């Protein structure tokens, strides 16, 4: 019985080690006239994915920004968006983890970010890998 418990503990430890070791991340990047955008898709061993986004205003007049909304679209996952975006003093918005998906986004995906506000544009994001 003791050997069985040690075997189960060993197998459980291997699974835990594998889940920590196999986390991966894909960055999708794009740029437009007014914006630089990066969507980071972090996935774990089990194939679950969490997405976050960083949007940077390239201009100098931060007071032009006002309130913004953006939507993220792709044929590889259900779209999502954030409304009433607030930029920091450097013109950067970082979302933190926004959405969790049941599967990984392929690195061949094309992702569109539609920025809506005073300086509306659509940014196409692609993976560099």
Residues 85-112: what's their mean pLDDT?
A: 91
Which domains are seen in the chain, by residue range?
23-127 (2.60.40)
What are the phi and psi torsion angles at 2 (to 5°)? -65, -40
CA atoms within 13 A on the CB side of 24: 13
Share of the chain above pLDDT 70, in %: 85
Beta strand 49-57 with 121-127: parallel, antiparallel or unpaired?
unpaired
Q: Quick check: pTM over 0.85?
A: no
DSSP H or E stretch at residue 85:
strand 77-85
Residue tagged 């920004």 (tokens):
65
Window from 14-23, 29-38, 68-77, 104-113 with minimum mean pLDDT: 14-23
Residues 82-100: what's their mean pLDDT?
A: 91
């Amino acid at each position: 019985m003791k050997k069985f418990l040690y075997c189960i503990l060993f197998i459980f430890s291997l699974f835990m080690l594998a889940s920590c070791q196999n986390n991966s991340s894909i960055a999708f990047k794009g740029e437009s006239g007014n914006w630089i955008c990066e969507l980071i898709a972090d996935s774990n061993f089990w194939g679950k994915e969490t997405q976050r986004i960083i949007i940077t205003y390239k201009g100098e007049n931060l007071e032009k920004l006002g309130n913004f909304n953006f939507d993220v679209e792709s044929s590889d996952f259900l779209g999502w968006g954030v409304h009433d975006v607030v930029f920091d003093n450097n013109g950067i918005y970082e979302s933190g983890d926004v959405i969790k998906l049941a599967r990984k986004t392929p690195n061949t995906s094309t992702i569109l970010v539609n920025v809506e506000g005073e300086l509306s544009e659509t940014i196409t994001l692609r993976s560099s890998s």
